Amino acid sequence: MANESPQASADAGDWAAAMAEQASASVTSIDPTPGKPKPAQGALFEKFSGGVASGNSNNDLDMIMDIPVRLTVELGRTKITIKQILQLAQGSVIELDGLAGEPMDVLVNGCLIAQGEVVVVNDKFGIRVTDIITPSERIRRLNH
């Protein structure tokens, strides 16, 4: 890996150290009663505190805040034949199933999470979210 950056090398070293730490922390025990399931070992997991969430919940959420996801705004869809694709030229118009003025779908990693309307700000397109899809509504839409 001659082109590997110093940061990538440091990241690889961090991963190797984490994997080594995990391997050395594995717990071995002797099962006195073969055939019976062993109880969960409390040393492997932190205990959950009952009641109100602790102050660490923000720190836990911060851990996932920088994970990239693919956000897509879908104007509409259509099915066309390969022959029609090959006939496309600059200026061709493809009819979509979406209607003008209809809310656009906002998808995260291919899952519908919201709907909104197209806006233009400083010559750039954007979307103004007008409706958030609830988790129960997402499940209902998956079943149809």
Q: Answer whether residue 132 is part of any domain.
A: yes
Residues 6 or more apart in contact with residue 114 via CB below 8 angstroms:
106, 129, 130, 131, 132, 133
The reply to whether 4 falls in a domain is no
Give the domain extent around 95.
Answer: 68-144
Enter the pTM of the model. 0.49
For residue 24, tell me if it sits in a domain. Answer: no
Q: How far apart are alpha carbons 17 and 72 in whole angstroms?
A: 37
Q: Is residue 140 part of a domain?
A: yes
What is the tally of structural domains in the chain?
A: 1
What is the reported pLDDT for 60?
Answer: 79
CATH of the domain at 78: 2.30.330.10
Least confident of 9-18, 32-41, 48-57: 32-41
